[in-house]
Amino acid sequence: MDWGDEYSLNSFDLHCLLNSFPGDLEFKQIFSDIEEKIEQNATSIEHCIKEIQSEVNKQHPDVQLRTTTDCFEWLNNYSYNSSKSPSVPHGELIKFLKTMQDLLKNEQNQEEMILDLLWGLSCQSSISFPSTLSGTSFHFLSKTSLHSVEDHSSMDVKSIWDDIRLHLRRFLVKKLQSHNEINNSQQKILLKNQCIRRLLFLYPESEVIVKYQNIQDKLLANLLQNCFPSYSRESNLDIMVHGYQSAMLKLYSMIQEDFNTLHEILAPSSTVKFIKETYLNTVTEEMAKFLEKFCELLFKEKAVRVVKTSKSSSKHRGAVHALVTPECPQKARNFSLSLYELIFLSQLIKSFLNLEKNVQGLFEEMFLSLKMPQNTSGILETSSKEAMIGKPRANEASIPSEQLLPVKEATLLEFGWRSAFKEVSPSMAHCIMTAIEDFSTKILQQEQNERSSAISYTMNLVNVQQVWQGSHVIPEKDKPKKIAKFCSDIMEKLDTMLPLALACRDDSFQEIRANFVEACYKVATAVLARLQERGKEVPSKAPLRNLHTLLSTAVYVFQHFTRYDNLMKETTKKPIFLVPVQQYQEFINTLQFQVTDYCVRVCATSILQDAESHHWDNYKAFYEGERCSFSLQMWHYFCWALHHDLWTILPPKLAQEILAEVLEKSLGLLASRYARAHPSYKRTSQIRLDVTTILICTENMLWSVCTSVQKLLNPHEYIDDKIFKIHTHCNNLFTTLVILTSPLTELYKLFLLATGLVTNFRNGEFFQKGEETVRTFQHGIDDSASDSLKSFFNQPLYWFSGIAHFYPSFLRTPSAGGLTAEGQLKLLLSQPCCNWNLLLETLLHHDGLLLRILLKSSKCTFEEQVSDTEKNLNQGSSLIEAIFNVLYHCNFSPQTFGNVFVSYMEEEQLWDFLYNIPASTCMESEPEVMRYFRLALTDAVKDIVQQTISVMSPGRNQETNLNKHSVPECLLKNIPNEWNYIPEETKWKESSKGFTRLAAQAVSIVISKLPTVIACLPPPIKYFFFLSERKMSKNFVELKKAGLLVWNLIVIICRIFEDGNTVELLTGASLDRWCKEKLGLICVCLESIMREQSNPNQMTQKVIQSIEQQKPHWIERHLLKARKLSTECAFMTIEKSTTLEEGDIALELTEQKINTMVLDICHKPGGSEYLRQIYHIMRLNEEYLKEQLFSMNGSEEKPLPIRPLKMTLRSVEDQPSAFNPFHVYKVFSENMLDQSAIRKWNWNWSNLLPNYLGLDKMTFSALLKNRWEMRKNETLEEEEKAMVEHLKRICIVQNSSASDNIEE
C-alpha cells in the first residue's frame, strides 16, 4: 500500500525463493509484488525530486528546474560558494557553543543529547560542522556555515568547537571500547557502526580510522600475546600449532566483524587499508618475529655471520630482512629441518592459507564487480588500471556524474604473509624431499619387517578417515572403507606436508613445490611397486582378502593424487601428477580384473566341481532327493563371504560392480553346466531342487547389486547389462528346469500344441485345431510363437514369476506395481552405504509409511526411556526434527509431508497447539513438532517483521527523544535564528502523521506481504495446512475468512511483536517501552481484522478506517488472495493424486525428481546429516521395522505394539562383524531355502509350459535330448514309449539334419 509522503525504498527478499518451489500462480504473485515495489520506489523517488525542485526554485529564483533531467544536471554542476553565505553574528555563535560546552562540563549524560542536536542541525538546517583540525581550511556545503564570521574571531570559535569535539570523542571512544565486551556479534556491529558514524561526523575519516585502529590494536595485541607463545628449544610444537590455529580463527572473526562494521561506512579502499594495516600486517610481523627467533635457535651452533637489518618502515610493516656479508653467501644460511619441524611449519602455513582464503572470500563480496588479480605476495594487489568507487563524503564538493567513475589508483588488499617465511623457505625446500623420502622408506621397511615376522600374510587394515573438506570431499559411494595401514601412514604424512606446496605464489616457494612434487612421484612409484609385489602373493601365499585391500588402497592413493592435482591446478593451470594418476588407474583396472577372474575361476575349478552331487548317471537318488548339491551350498557361502569382504573394504560402487560381475559369470557357468546335465530318473528331482536353489540364492543377492528400484525391476532399460545378463542366465536355468524336469505327458501336450495337434491319450484319438493350426514343429517352435509369447518369455523377471507362487519374496514384477514398502526397505539396507536417492524414495513410499512408524516409535521412546541420559533424549528428539526438515523440502511430494504429520497430529491430539502457535519457546509444554512448524513460519515472516520494525523506529525515535534526550531550554534559546532550527518536539506535535497513520502503515505492510510470503512457502507445508484446516474448520470460525495458514502467519507475527527477545534475534533491534506498546496495539489491529470483532476498540477502528478510506476493501482482497495461494497447491496435489491409481504415486516420482529433491535437501543447512541420521536409525531398527510392515500386510491393518527405537547413532559399518558361515547357513536353511518343502512344491506345469511356445527349437531339442526318458535302456510304459519315439523322430532327427546341413 502506497503512503505518498514517505521516502522509504521498498525491497523484495529474493532469498526466500531459495526455499520454495513456486508454481505458475505463485510466480505471478511474486512478480506482481516485485513490480509493485518498483512502482512504489519510482513514486517515492519522483516525489523526492519534486520537493528538491521546489526547494531550489524557492531559494534560487534565477534557477528554474522544470524536468528531472534539469534537476540532475543542476545538482551535478552545483558548486557552493561560501563567500556568498550570510554571516552568523559572532556573539550568537559563541554563546551557542559555550552553552553546549558548559552543559557537557557541568551536567552528566548530556553527550547523547548534544550529538542528536548537532546531527539534527546538520540534516535539517544544512549546517556544516567542520571535522578538520583547527587552523585548516573548511569546505561548505550549505547556505550557512559555522565559520561565516569575521576573521579575527575565528580562533575563539575553533577552540570552543575543538573542546566540544574532544569531549564527545572521549565519550564515543569509551563506548567503542565497551562494545568490544558484548557477546552478541550482530548487536556489537550495530552499536560500533553507530559510534563510528558519529565520530566521522565530528572528525576527518583519517583521524577516526587511526583512533579505531588503536583500539583494535590493543585487542589484537592481547590476542597475539595469549596465543602466539615465544619459541624456545623446549617448546612443544604441537601445542604451539594448536595455539596458532586457534588465534587464526579468532583473528578472522575480528576481521569479519570489522568488515561488517566498516564496509557500509567507509569507501572500499579505506576498508581494505584498515584491514590490511590493523590485522594482516600485524600478524605478518608477529610471524616474522617468531620465525626469526625460530631460525636463530636452529642455526645457532653454525658459524654464520649475519648482520640483521633495522626494522622495516611502517609502510612495509612486517617484513624481516637480513644482510649477508660477502664472506657468507646466502646459501650458507641453509640449515637442516627435521620432519617434526617441517610438519610444524606446514601447519603454520596451512593456517595462513585458510585465513587468506577466508579474507579473500569476504572481500570478493565487496569487489564482486571488479576483477581482482592475484599477485605474488598476497591476496589482492595494487592495480593502476582498475580503481574502486569511493563512497561520497559529506564535506566533499559535488562532481559531475561522468566523473563518478573510478579515476584514481586503488590500494587493494595485499597480504604479504609469505615474506615472513622467506628466511626459512630455502631450508624447507632443501629438506622437504629428504624428509618425505626418509619417512616413506621407513614406513615401507617397517611393513616389510612385519610381513617377514608375521605368521599370517593378512595385511594390517585401518579405517579411512575423512581428510578433505568442501568441494574436495569424496562421494561416499567412491570412498574406500579400509586400506593398508602402511599406505595410510604415508599419505597422512604427505597430507600434512601439502600446505608447503600449496603456498607457492612466488619464487620463494617455487622450489618447495617442485621438490614436493618430485618426492611425491618417488613415493607413488615405491608404494605402487609394493602393492604390485603384494598382489603377486595371492593366492599362493596370501588370502583373497588381500586383493580387496590392495584394490581399495590403490583407489585411495589414486584419489589422493587426483586431489593434489586439482588443488595445484588452481595456481599452475596444468596437471602436475598426471603420470602417477595414470599408473594407478591402470593398476586399479588390472586388480579389478584379477579379483573378478580369480573368483570366477575358483567357482569353475573348485567350488562347483562336485563329483558326488553331480553324478547324474547314478540311479540312486541324492539324499533321497531332499537336498541340493553341496557345491551350490558352497557357492552360496562363497558369494556371501565375498559380499562381506567387498562391503567392508572396498568403495561401495566398486564393490557392487565386482559382486555383480562375479554373480553374472558364475550364473553363466551354472546355466551352461545344468543345460548339459543328463540325469537319471532318480537324479531328475535333484536338478529341479538345484536350479530352484540357484534362483532363490540369486534373488537374495540381487538386492545387493542393484542400486535402484528401476535397475532391479527394469534392467533392460540400462546401458550396464550385468544385471540384465543375470536375469538372462536365471531365465535359461528356469527353462532347463521346465524342459528337463516337467512330466513327459505335459511336455508332449506342449509339443502337440506347437504342431497344431492336441491328443486325447485315453481314447488314442487326435484332432486338428482347424484355422488355429500353426506351423509344424519342423519349421520351428519359435516361428509359431506369437509376439506376445516372445515378449512374455523374454521378460527379465520371468524366472521369478515361476517360483513366486512358492517362494515369498519382496521382489515384484513391474506389472505388479513395483516394490512394496518391505521391498524398498530391503533394497535400501542391502546397499554397501547410504544411497541418498534410494533412501528418500523409501521414505516417500506409500505416503511415508516408514516415517509414520518411526514417528510413533519416537514418542514411545520419550515415554518409556525416562531414566535414559539427556544425550539419548536429545537424539530421540532430533529424529522428529530430521523427519520434518527432510519432508519439508520434498517439493515434488507435498502429500507425504501432509499425510505424515496430519496423521501424527491426529494421534497426538495437537490441533489446539496448531491453532495458536507461540513465537518462542516460552511454553514448556510445547510439543516438539510444533516447535519446527513455528520455526518454519517464523523464518517465512522474518522480512515482514524487519520492515515493520524499521517503519516503527522513526516514530519511536521522535517520540522517545522528547523524554529521553530532551534539549534544555537554555540551549534551544541560544541556537542562531539564521539556522531556522525547528525542535524535534515541535515537529512531532505538528506533524500530520500521528500514531494512527504509523500503525496503518505497519498493518498494511503485514497484510500486503502475506500473499508473497505464502507464495514463497514450500508446497509441503501449504498442503499440510490445507489438510489440517479441513479437520479444524468446524471448531474455529476464524479459519473461514483467511484459512489456517494465513491465521497462523498472523499469530506468529503478533507473537513476535509481543516478544522482544525474538524481535532482537530476528532483526538485531532492541525494543524499548514505547515500541513494545505500539507493537502491542498493532497486534490488536491484526487480530481484530482476522477475528472480525463486532466492537473493536477506538484505536483499532481508526487504524482500519484509515486503510479502508485510502483503498476500500483492500484488506479483504489481500486476505482472499493469500487464501487462494495457500490452497492452490493443495488442489493441484489432490487433482494429481486422483488421476493416479493406487500405488502409482510412488512411480510418479521419477529418478530425476528424486535426485532434484535430494540435492535440494543436501544444500540446506544440516540436510545431509538429517538423511544420514534417519538412515542409521532405520538400520539399527531393521528387524523392528520389518515386523511392523509385515503386521500391516493384508486388508486390515493390525500393527504390533510400539516399542522404543534404538537411538544410538553409531554407524553400523564402523565395526563390522567377521564373516560367520554358521549364521549364513542358518539364514540359508531356515529363512531362504527349506529343501524338504521345495520337494513337495506342486508345480503348475499346465500354466508354465505354454509360455515356452516361443522357445528356440535348437534349445528345445538339446534340452529334450537330456531328459531321463531319452536315455537308453530306461523302463517306460507303452504310452510313454510312444511319446518318446514320436519326440525322438521329430525333434532329435530334425535337429541332427539341421546340424548336418550346417556342417556341409
User: Residue 308 pairs with which residues in a beta bridge?
Assistant: 322
Under the phi-then-psi rule, with left for phi > 0, alpha for psi from -120 to 50, and beta for the rest, what region is 624?
A: left
Burial 317-341 (b: 16+ CB within 10 A, else e): bbbbeeeeeeeeeeeebbbebebeb
Q: Measured between alpha carbons, how far is 893 from 841 in angstroms, rounded to an integer? A: 10
Phi, psi of 1051 (to 5 degrees): -65, -45
pLDDT of residue 1038: 59
Strand 757-760 with 482-484, pairing: unpaired
Q: Measured between alpha carbons, how far is 1283 from 177 in angstroms, rounded to an integer? A: 108
The stretch 609-616 carries a mean pLDDT of 83
Amino acid in the structure at residue 1028: S
Q: CA angle 249-252-258, nearest 5°? A: 145
Which of the pair, 193 or 303, is modelled with greater confidence?
Answer: 193
User: Residue 461 pairs with which residues in a beta bridge?
Assistant: 484
Q: Measured between alpha carbons, how far is 839 from 1154 in angstroms, rounded to an integer? A: 10
Residue 875, number of CB atoms within 10 A of its CB: 19
Which of the pair, 120 or 23, is modelled with greater confidence?
Answer: 120
Indicate the Cα dihedral angle 158, 164, 167, 171, nearest 10°.
-130
Contact 555, 654 (CB under 8 A): yes
Looking from the CA of 874 toward its CB, the CA atoms found within 13 Å total 3
Q: Measured between alpha carbons, how far is 465 from 577 in angstroms, rounded to an integer? A: 23
Strand 461-463 with 482-484, pairing: antiparallel
Q: Measured between alpha carbons, how far is 854 from 1072 in angstroms, rounded to an integer? A: 45
DSSP H or E stretch at residue 323: strand 322-324
- Which residue is associated with the grid cell 597475539? 224
Which of the pair, 1028 or 148, is modelled with greater confidence?
Answer: 1028
pLDDT of residue 68: 80
Alpha-carbon distance values, 255 to 176, 219, 275, 856, 866 (Å): 16, 12, 7, 48, 46
Q: How far separated are the first and last CA of the chain, in Å rounded?
A: 95
Indicate the Cα dihedral angle 576, 579, 585, 589, nearest 10°.
170
- Which residue is associated with the grid cell 521419477? 1150
Contact 1254, 782 (CB under 8 A): yes
pLDDT of residue 1212: 44
> Which three cell numbers mark 1189?
510392515
Angle between helices 1114-1139 and 1044-1058 (to 10 degrees): 130
Lowest mean pLDDT among 206-210, 303-307, 1127-1131: 303-307
pLDDT tens for 492-512 read 999 999 999 998 876 668 899
Residue 791 burial (C-beta neighbours within 10 Å; 0-12, 13-18, 19+)? exposed
Residue 194 has pLDDT above 60, yes or no: yes
Residue 385 has pLDDT above 50, yes or no: no
Nearest of 203, 455, 251 to residue 358 by alpha carbon: 251
Lowest mean pLDDT among 28-42, 545-559, 737-751, 1212-1226: 1212-1226
Which of the pair, 515 or 873, is modelled with greater confidence?
Answer: 515
Which of the pair, 506 or 642, is modelled with greater confidence?
Answer: 642
Alpha-carbon distance values, 186 to 523, 1069, 1070, 1102, 1112 (Å): 50, 9, 11, 37, 41
Q: Measured between alpha carbons, how far is 15 from 940 in angstroms, rounded to an integer? A: 10
Looking from the CA of 619 toward its CB, the CA atoms found within 13 Å total 4
> Which three cell numbers mark 907?
494421534
User: Residue 128 pairs with which residues in a beta bridge?
Assistant: 145
The stretch 1058-1066 carries a mean pLDDT of 80
Please name the residues in contact with 136: beta carbons below 8 A apart, sequence gap of 6 or more: none
Residue 224 has pLDDT above 70, yes or no: yes
pLDDT of residue 779: 43
Judged by DSSP in three states, 1195 sits in coil
pLDDT tens for 922-952 read 555 788 899 999 999 999 998 898 888 888 7
Nearest of 1261, 1252, 1259 to residue 785 by alpha carbon: 1252
Nearest of 695, 693, 722, 696 to residue 707 by alpha carbon: 722
Q: Measured between alpha carbons, how far is 973 from 96 in angstroms, rounded to an integer? A: 9
The pLDDT-based confidence of 918 (bands split at 50, 70, 90) is low
Contact 781, 1257 (CB under 8 A): yes
Provide the CA 868 distance to its chain's centre, in angstroms.
32
DSSP H or E stretch at residue 516: helix 507-535
> Which three cell numbers mark 461?
587394515
Looking from the CA of 949 toward its CB, the CA atoms found within 13 Å total 25
For the entire predicted model, the pTM comes to 0.83
The stretch 197-212 carries a mean pLDDT of 91
Please name the residues in contact with 619: beta carbons below 8 A apart, sequence gap of 6 or more: 680, 681, 682
The pLDDT-based confidence of 1147 (bands split at 50, 70, 90) is very low
pLDDT tens for 1079-1127 read 888 888 888 888 765 566 788 888 888 888 888 888 888 888 888 888 8
pLDDT of residue 137: 31
pLDDT tens for 309-334 read 333 333 333 333 332 333 333 444 56
pLDDT of residue 1034: 62
Indicate the Cα dihedral angle 1061, 1066, 1067, 1073, nearest 10°.
-20
Residue 148, number of CB atoms within 10 A of its CB: 18
Phi, psi of 767 (to 5 degrees): -140, 150
Strand 322-324 with 306-308, pairing: antiparallel
The pLDDT-based confidence of 1174 (bands split at 50, 70, 90) is very high
